[in-house]
């Protein structure tokens, strides 16, 4: 079973991500075959509606705990504020639709 983890750190933009969000980098396990990920795919992964990328790699979202990078990522890619996303995840948990994603201990640099 191939399982990889996405996580968000501050760096450079990748793939087809919009140029105006050039201070965001999405990091995945090296076993992921996809060389790029669309904004829609990324949004789907972090809203738990998508569990695999276009190459079939299974992914799970891992979020930063807080910070400006975290907030910018949510706004630009997920389309939700931090509180709205938290409410969204909890609504999944309390209706048996999904589990809460993991939080990364990593800090932006």
Partner 1 sequence: MFTRISTTLLAAALAAPFAQAQFNFDIDGKPVQIHSFGSQGFMASDQNNYLTTNTSKGSFDFTDIGGNISMRLTDNFRIGAQIYDREIGQLGAWHPQLDWAVADYRVKDWFGVRGGVVKTVFGLHNDTQDVDFLQTYALLPQSVYPTDLRDALIRHRGGDVYGNVSLGRLGSLAYTGFAGLRVDSLYGGYIYLLHGSGIFMNSYGGLQYGGDLKWTTPIKGLVLGASRMNEDITGKGTYDASIFGGPKDAPYEEHSLSDWANQFYGQYSIGNLTLEAEYRRWYRYQDIFNGFFTVTTDTRTWYADTSYRLSKRFTVGGYYSHFVADWGTAHFYPGNHLYDKVLTLRADLKNYWDVKVEGHFMNGTGGTGIPGGGLLYPDGFYPFNNPAGLKPTTTLLVVKTGFNF
- Report how far apart, in Å, the C-alpha atoms of 35 and of each of 29, 30, 64, 102, 107 are: 12, 10, 22, 24, 24
**For residues 11 and 34, which CB has a smaller minimum distance to partner 1 in the complex?**
34
**Which residues contribute to the site for partner 1 (CB under 8 A)?**
1, 3, 40, 44, 49-52, 58, 79-81, 83-84, 86-87, 90-91, 93-96, 98-100, 103
90/3 Cα distance (integer angstroms): 23
**For residues 11 and 32, which CB has a smaller minimum distance to partner 1 in the complex?**
32
Name the minimum Å distance from CB 36 to partner 1.
Answer: 16
54/37 Cα distance (integer angstroms): 8
Q: Are 17 and 39 in contact (CB under 8 A)?
A: yes
**For residues 35 and 83, which CB has a smaller minimum distance to partner 1 in the complex?**
83
Name the minimum Å distance from CB 93 to partner 1.
Answer: 6
Name the minimum Å distance from CB 44 to partner 1.
Answer: 7
**For residues 44 and 61, which CB has a smaller minimum distance to partner 1 in the complex?**
44
Grouping H, G, I as helix, E, B as strand and the rest as coil, residue 97 is coil
């Amino acid at each position: 079973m191939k399982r990889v983890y996405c996580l968000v750190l501050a760096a450079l933009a990748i793939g087809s991500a919009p140029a105006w969000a050039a201070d965001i980098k999405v990091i995945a396990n090296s076993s992921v075959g996809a060389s790029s990920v669309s904004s829609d795919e990324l949004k789907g992964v972090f809203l738990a509606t998508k569990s695999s990328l276009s190459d079939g790699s299974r992914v799970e979202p891992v979020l930063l705990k807080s910070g400006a990078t975290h907030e910018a990522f949510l706004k630009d890619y997920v389309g939700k504020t931090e509180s709205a996303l938290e409410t969204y995840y909890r609504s999944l948990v309390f209706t048996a639709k999904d589990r809460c994603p993991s939080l990364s201990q990593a800090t932006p640099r």
